[in-house]
Amino acid sequence: MFAASAAKWAVASALACGLTSAAAAQQADNPLKTGMKMLGFATDAPQAQDFVVKSRPQKEPDYIPIFQPPPEPAKKALDDKGLGQLKGDLDSVEKRADALRASFPPAAKAVAEENAPKAAKTKSTPAAANQ
């Protein structure tokens, strides 16, 4: 008896849910939504805060295609002269940084320790070739 009434209830609720559209479910005066609100399964969306309303655009944005090519860069590509100047600037900055690094004792020590195994290999290689 209980199974039959539960099956009828399930079929009736499925039919009621299936017959109502999503737009009709959002209406405040919809009887199904009113019943679901009484049971605690549905709520009304609160009004948006003022800062949210102000931050939204006044009109709907235009369609933006998904695979839109990127905009052209504002600056033109460097010519040979400009590229040479840029390389010269980078080289001068690199030389200045190397001079600073060489004058800093811990850095000079680290560079010397790093180059020591390489120097030892080059010294041992000619000696091995003479034997």
Q: Where are the domains of the chain?
A: 2-43, 80-124
Return the structure tokens found at 6.
């539960």
Q: Which tens digits make up the pLDDT trace of 47-91?
A: 999 999 999 888 887 877 788 787 888 888 889 999 999 999 999
**Residue of 46, 11, 13 lying closest to 32 (CA atoms):** 13
* Residues 37/43, Cβ–Cβ less than 8 Å: yes
Q: Which tens digits make up the pLDDT trace of 32-41?
A: 888 888 888 8
**Residue of 11, 8, 14 lying closest to 32 (CA atoms):** 14
Q: Which tens digits make up the pLDDT trace of 107-121?
A: 778 888 888 888 888
Torsion of Cα atoms, 24 then 25 then 28 then 32, to 10°: 110
Please report the pLDDT score of residue 22 as a whole number. Answer: 57
Question: Which pTM was predicted?
Answer: 0.31
